[in-house]
Structure 1
Amino acid sequence: MSNDDITLTAGDAEVSVLPGNGGRIGGLRIGGTELLRQGERFGCFPMVPWCGRIREGRFLDGAAVRQMPLNSPPHAIHGTVRDGAWRTARVSRDEAVITYELVDPWPHPGRVTQIVALAEDSLTLTMSVETYDDSFPAQIGWHPWFHRSLGGDDVRLDFAPAWQEERGADHLPTGNRIDVEPGPWDDCFGMPGGVDVTLTWPGQLELKVTSREEWVVVYDEQAEAVCVEPQTGPPNGLNTHPRLVTPLEPLEATTTWSWRRL
């Protein structure tokens, strides 16, 4: 099938899926109100086969040291799939399945599948990475850009992480876990019971971002948007917390955004 844009609907919720632009969610509208920052680099993009930054773009892959392009010098950031065109495998009124074949510069062939499932009060994103051949380390995550304001007061973030990853001068976790510091953040947090972050736009909407994964990056240093990014490991995790994709065991993760009107 093609990589044309897809629109899903359920009740008064509408989601646009953009296979041709990195498999990203282009928009989420609830009752006509757009929650995601608009623009070709925004919306909500998948982070695969790694999340956040890899130190100097290098990671250990078995005995080999791999070098990724430094797209955020001196590091490599957010994986490769957001830069490619995905294909639509199937689509219905409220669900789309899209796929992406891993290609250079990633050194291993494999397939990424993303399922986008919309309900009247929730959006569930499920992603898997499978290999055709060799085992390799990988990560899965999502990078949504939520509007800071929906026309009223700024969004309020509420979450209770067990720790914050100490961030070094190079923007990467040092390996030390510290007590949560006040924002603004471009930081990774540990939530061993699963990611659970509530965004509240006062008087308008409450949205919960949940996932069984235990890592979340919160980025709120920009005036326009706030990012809440569930992921299967911390930044630089291909080196520090590698999750292996094997022919018998793909890597899979899910996040759900659920909302209610206030």
Structure 2
Amino acid sequence: MSTRLSAGGAELTIDQENGCRISSLRVDGTELLLQGPKYGAFPMVPWCGRTANGRFRDGATVHQLPLNHPPHAIHGFGREVAWRPAHSTGTTAVFTYDLADPWPYPGRVTQVFQLGEDALTLTMGVETYGDSFPAQAGWHPWFNRSLTPGGPEAQLDFTPAWQEERGPDHIPTGNRIDPKPGPWDDCFGMPEGVDVTLTWPGSLELKITSRAEWVVIYDEQPQTVCVEPQSGPPNGLNTLPRLVTPVDPLEVSTTWTWRRLA
């Protein structure tokens, strides 16, 4: 079952049964996202990227997560479950899912989609039903490198303050280094907020912004470029825990704004 939103020339399809991911985003009939059940744009929650060896500590307790990307746990559980629809109009949709085993804490995640003629805003909130717990949230969009067969490839423009040094196990070492040339599977710090522009020459410019201060860029595959705004770095459950408390839920949002170049 899918939910479809439209505004002007923009059309959004949400597959709530498959991790509440965006399965399609079309602008004037042109598909921006790589197609396939594992692609589109999926939510990363209640953690983002890799959690080292699937383990994280909360106080004196060490929790073990399933190793869904051995030797690590990756991208959370939200992309693997069906979400429940809560509200929808022609341009807005809201979905929820309840955190449950194997995540060790009860809570609820809410995801809101708001589509306009030239922008899409995504918001995700994580709240607890009881005890406080560390969590992260973000999005993993798989943008098409080319919008048409043989068409120009996307050009990436951003100015991060630093790059998280990546160890041989793909986990950040804790060192901040000057940004290196791509291709990347790397996390970058943008303390003034995420601001990344993808440009398909002669076709479309897409600006990805967020008040979040972290973004992962993954462009090692030939068909796609991933720009992933998120509330903390990979392995952040261990290195930069952000507690969700009864009075302080986690909320993160991102806006994708497009401009037609043709």
The TM tier, using the shorter chain, reads over 0.9
**Is 1:164 paired with 2:160?**
no
| TM-score, normalising length: structure 1 | 0.98
Output the TM-score relative to the length of structure 2: 0.98
Map of 1:191 onto structure 2 = 190
**1:211 matched to which residue of 2?**
210
> What residue ranges of structure 1 are gaps of 5+ in the alignment?
none
Q: Please report how far the alpha carbon of residue 17 of structure 1 lies from its aligned counterpart in structure 2 after TM superposition.
A: 0.8
Residue in 1 that maps onto 2:132: 135
Q: 1:114 aligns with which of 111, 115, 133?
A: 111
Deviations 1:194-225 (A, max 9, x none): 00000000100000000001100000000111
State the superposition RMSD in angstroms.
0.5
How far off is 1:103 after superposition?
1.0
Write the letter of the residue equivalent to 1:253: V
Structure-to-structure mapping, 1:168-187, within 5 angstroms: 168-187=167-186
Aligned to 1:40: 37
After TM superposition, the structure 1 = structure 2 runs for residues 24-63 of structure 1, keeping only pairs within 5 Å, are 24-63=21-60
Instruction: Indicate yes or no: 2:255 matched with 1:256.
Output: yes
User: In the aligned structure 1, how far is the partner of 2:202 from the partner of 2:58?
Assistant: 49
The offset of 1:61, in angstroms, is 1.5
Cα offset for 1:62?
Answer: 2.1
The letter for the 2-side match of 1:192 is: P
Counterparts of 1:109 and 1:18, CA distance in 2: 24
1:60-79 mapped onto 2 (5 Å cutoff): 60-79=57-76
How many residue pairs match? The answer is 259
Instruction: Provide the secondary structure at the position in 2 that maps to 1:143.
Output: strand
Q: How far apart in 2 are the matches of 1:216 and 1:28?
A: 21
Could you report, residue by residue, the CA deviation over 1:142-186 in whole angstroms, capped at 9, with x for unpaired residues? 000000001211100000000000000000110000001000000
For residues 181 and 42 of structure 1, the distance between their equivalents in structure 2, rounded to whole angstroms, comes to 26
Identity %: 69
Tell me the distance in 2 between the aligned counterparts of 1:104 and 1:174.
29
Pairing 1:7–2:12 present: no
Secondary structure in structure 2 of the residue aligned to 1:145: strand
Deviation per residue, 1:42-78 (Å, 9 max, x gap): 0000000000000000000221100000011000000
Aligned partner of residue 82 in structure 1, secondary structure: helix
Distance in 2, matches of 1:34 and 1:101, equals 31
Are residue 147 (structure 1) and residue 135 (structure 2) matched? no
Q: Which amino acid aligns with 1:215?
A: W
Q: Distance in 1 between matches of 2:226 and 2:205?
A: 15
**Structure 2 residue identity aligned to 1:219:** Y
- Give the corresponding residue for 2:231: 232
What one-letter code is carried by the residue in structure 1 that aligns with 2:255?
T
CA distance in 2, matches of 1:261, 1:238: 39
